[in-house]
Structure 1
Amino acid sequence: MKNWFKNIGPGPLVAAAFIGPGTVTVCTLAGVAFGYQLLWAMVLSVVATIVLQEMAARLGIVSQRGLSEVIRTEINVPVLRVLAILLILSAVVIGNAAYEAGNISGGVLGLETLMVAPKLTVGAFSFNVLSIVIGTIAFGLLYLGNYKVLEKVLVFLVILMSLAFLVTAVITGPDVMVILKGALVPSFPENSLLTVIGLVGTTVVPYNLFLHASLVKEKWHSKQDLKYARKDTVVAVTLGGLVSMSIIVSAAAIQATDISSAADLAKGLEPLFGRFAKYFLASGLFAAGITSAITAPLAAAYVANGCLGLGANMRSWKFRGVWMVVLLMGIVFSSLGIKPIEIIKFAQVTNGILLPIIAVFLIWIMNKSSVLGVYKNSLGQNIFGFVIILISILLSLASLNKVFGLNLF
């Protein structure tokens, strides 16, 4: 057991990244609207995420380079290289800056469920103090530039988040057989398609592929460590999937139809299952918000530095400069209550387009002997990969449909 904990690596950070306030909200809405019927979509998401994240981790350990670095060096056509870099920078760096406000606001929502949020008035502006507190915590951990400290803190927060949501689900007393049916038997209730796509899209996250490939280099340096990376990935992503499923199960216990966020869910559980349910869920939402508030700027910094060939030293000012800008935007937008709608729409579009493109790039690279040698993809891994590409194309179309109202579905 001691050896297993010693070899816990970036997996929990990846889980922390995809279980943010957005995931919590989508899972809450899925549970309220469709009960346990869409649990199978989370099972599908977990399998797809494990397959892609294992590839990213393998690439990082074998090549000792991040995914954005490999894409930049392996695309030999200058025009395609520039287009790929611009798309990646737009989606991940600008996108994460837009979503960062939501990450911090999610953590604040968790705290506000338990306490009154103090306000700080400066001139004509009123700041939410809790947003500033969460942003300051994230700033301190990122500024240290110490991977081991960051890993330990995020592992603790992921464990807290996991226990909070799992205990909340158990408190609701769900029917295990009905849960198994929902998880193993695919069904499409009326008007559920976009929710299904949302569940997959909030779990199979493009920026996590970049984050994972970069972080494994901080933890492992030998090809013999691949076995630890695989185990770390499978355990962490599976746990993340169980957390998401727990949120769906918890939400399914609420009969009200006016639930629109996890904060509403926390308040809705209190009269049914006692005040402790509210505390558990609020703690989970806080942990989900703060972990994503840390990992989103970190991923943006790795991607920007890899795309521009600036190196990936966590303590360099070029690296710190990127995450500082992303974090600062999140703190300002969150503390002032500003919702950067147009930027978020732009981020949704670019992320929707990016996922299938990055999946194609990843599988192309994972089949290059010049990069991976004997560690390149097997036939089975390629088949899984191509199925995921088809799913990601559907996600891309759904993202465009949602933003522009194209009536594709």
Structure 2
Amino acid sequence: MERSKAVREKIEALGTSNPSLKGEGREPLRWRAILKTLGPGLITGAADDDPSGIGTYSQTGAQLGYGASWTMVLTFPLMAAIQEISARVGRVTGHGIAGNVCRHYPAGLLNGIVALLFIANTINIAADLGAMADAFKLLFGGPAFAYVLLFGVTSVAAQIFLDYARYVAVLKWLTLSLFAYVGALAVAHVSWGEAVAGLLIPRVEFNASFLTTVVAILGTTISPYLFFWQASQEAEDQRVDVAKQPLVHRRHGARQEFNRIRADTIVGMAFSSLIAIAIILTAAATFHAAGKTDIETSAQAAEALRPIAGHFAEVIFALGIVGTGLLAIPVLAGSAAYAIGEGRRWPVGLARKPKEAAAFYGVLALSATIGIALNFTPVDPIQALYWSAVINGVLAVPVMVLLMAMVRRRDVMGRFVVTGKLYWLGWLATAVMAAGVAAMGVAWAL
């Protein structure tokens, strides 16, 4: 008895001195473990709120007020479903979307999709760099062209020369920049009754302006480059981790991996949607309430906030633009490089050294370089971004149809073909996107 008592006392002493053995010590470790599992989904969701997306949400709130925020509630399950399906393709097969298309479909189909993706992404990079430069100039003055070069070169250099694990960690930390818009919302004078009604009660207007705005939101939240990026990052993580293999070759642990992917994707897309809602509500409470509906870019939104909501709101809104741009540009350039590289069966991956994947990094650098150069041409960035959104909207539908067909093929997914609610939710997302594009076409025709 004495010996047992001594043992118990020793264990209790160890528990007191070693926080990992105490109940309160296990909690931080558990949270760290949870945060460690968040990766491609979190980064993809945060990258969805890029400077051009911020411009779209600001314009939506300015023009339509609180009554447009319900669209984000609608798009959340749709974007979460299609991104989870994309991630499953990468984890199951060990290849991204383009890598699977080139193995199972005609080359001409892939070439057309990849060409449009490269064009849309490059234009988006140009618009994002321009918005970041304008936001930085707003805060610190100086020439905007110098900031375009600074942000563009920094983004490319980080992708090429940073260690992969460190690079992913940087991207995760950059997601925190989106909390700037929660701060902006906190200082805005929001009519919460109207805000809640706008979230829960859909308000639809059958006119060209409203339908175009809805399509812009759909094109911003459900974008092809996000599908390609998350699928390729799942494949990349599997290649980097020697303990992992494509699930199509190794079935053990599939349920755990799918649970991780779902949690990662839901957290990432929920984060993206909440930030988008915060931006729409901020714009509704400031610009729409003041009768200012001519907001076109995120930088204009930041500048216009000063006389309405004060200098603090302007600063945090502008800093958020820079932070999200630094997160989005690598995703835009990287998704284009993955798509082209996998389609050509080149060695691809940010975990590879530049010499090991020269062509892959060459495409990445080319996309960013053209994006930088477009800011020094007479091309109107607003018009360029508009056409980029059109290309993304048109491209999203065939890519989603192709993706939904692919995940039912046993020669692609093996025994892990997508079924059940997730499969039908993916088709619903495809149908909604197609309906939005069709409605935009009808609005243009009329």
Length-normalised TM-score, structure 1: 0.89
Within 5 Å, give how 1:272-287 maps onto structure 2: 272-287=308-323
The answer on 1:181 being equivalent to 2:211 is no
Within 5 Å, give how 1:302-381 maps onto structure 2: 302-314=338-350, 315=353, 316-335=357-376, 338-339=379-380, 347-381=388-422
Amino acid at match of 2:235: K
The answer on 1:292 being equivalent to 2:324 is no
CA distance in 1, matches of 2:163, 2:196: 41
Question: How many correspondences in the alignment?
Answer: 391
Cα separation, partners in 2 of 1:398 and 1:201, compared to 1, 3 Å: farther
Amino acid at match of 1:245: I
Cross-structure match for 2:181:
165
Cross-structure match for 1:209:
227
Superposed CA offset, 1:340-364 (max 9, x none)? 7897676555433321111111111
Give how far 1:202 is off.
0.7
Within 5 Å, give how 1:3-402 maps onto structure 2: 3-75=33-105, 81-118=106-143, 128-144=145-161, 146-160=163-177, 162-189=178-205, 191-220=209-238, 221=244, 223=254, 224-253=256-285, 254=287, 255=290, 256-314=292-350, 315=353, 316-335=357-376, 338-339=379-380, 347-397=388-438
Cα separation, partners in 2 of 1:23 and 1:375, compared to 1, 3 Å: same
Give how far 1:150 is off.
2.2
Contact map agreement 2:46 2:268 (CA 8 A) in 1: no
Give how far 1:60 is off.
0.7
CA distance in 2, matches of 1:337, 1:111: 21
Contact map agreement 2:61 2:283 (CA 8 A) in 1: yes
CA distance in 2, matches of 1:66, 1:270: 44
Cα separation, partners in 2 of 1:244 and 1:90, compared to 1, 3 Å: same
Length-normalised TM-score, structure 2: 0.82
Superposed CA offset, 1:185-236 (max 9, x none)? 2111464121112111111001111111000122243533222221111101
Contact map agreement 1:44 1:200 (CA 8 A) in 2: no
CA distance in 1, matches of 2:384, 2:129: 16
Give how far 1:180 is off.
2.3
CA distance in 2, matches of 1:148, 1:239: 22
Cα separation, partners in 2 of 1:305 and 1:400, compared to 1, 3 Å: farther
Give how far 1:86 is off.
2.0
CA distance in 2, matches of 1:258, 1:206: 28
Which runs of no fewer than 5 residues in structure 2 stay unpaired?
A: 1-30, 239-243, 246-253
Cα separation, partners in 2 of 1:32 and 1:343, compared to 1, 3 Å: closer
Over the aligned positions, Cα root-mean-square deviation in angstroms equals 2.2
CA distance in 1, matches of 2:163, 2:121: 21
CA distance in 1, matches of 2:71, 2:130: 26
Superposed CA offset, 1:61-80 (max 9, x none)? 111111111111122xxxxx
Give how far 1:400 is off.
5.2
CA distance in 1, matches of 2:344, 2:87: 21
Which runs of no fewer than 5 residues in structure 1 stay unpaired?
A: 76-80, 120-127
Cross-structure match for 2:28:
none
Cross-structure match for 1:123:
none
CA distance in 2, matches of 1:108, 1:216: 32
Contact map agreement 2:114 2:339 (CA 8 A) in 1: yes
Cross-structure match for 2:25:
none
DSSP-derived class of the 1:113 partner: helix
Superposed CA offset, 1:82-141 (max 9, x none)? 33112212211122122211111121122122121326xxxxxxxx10101101210211
Contact map agreement 1:87 1:350 (CA 8 A) in 2: no
Cα separation, partners in 2 of 1:291 and 1:53, compared to 1, 3 Å: same
Amino acid at match of 2:211: L
Give how far 1:6 is off.
1.3
Cα separation, partners in 2 of 1:325 and 1:275, compared to 1, 3 Å: same
CA distance in 2, matches of 1:368, 1:112: 51
Amino acid at match of 1:215: Q
DSSP-derived class of the 2:67 partner: coil
Amino acid at match of 2:112: L
Q: For structure 1, which segment, 319-328 or 147-156, has the greater mean C-alpha deviation from structure 2 after superposition?
A: 147-156
Q: For structure 1, which segment, 385-394 or 58-67, has the greater mean C-alpha deviation from structure 2 after superposition?
A: 385-394
From the CA coordinates, give the structure whose radius of gyration is larger. Answer: 2
Give how far 1:245 is off.
0.9
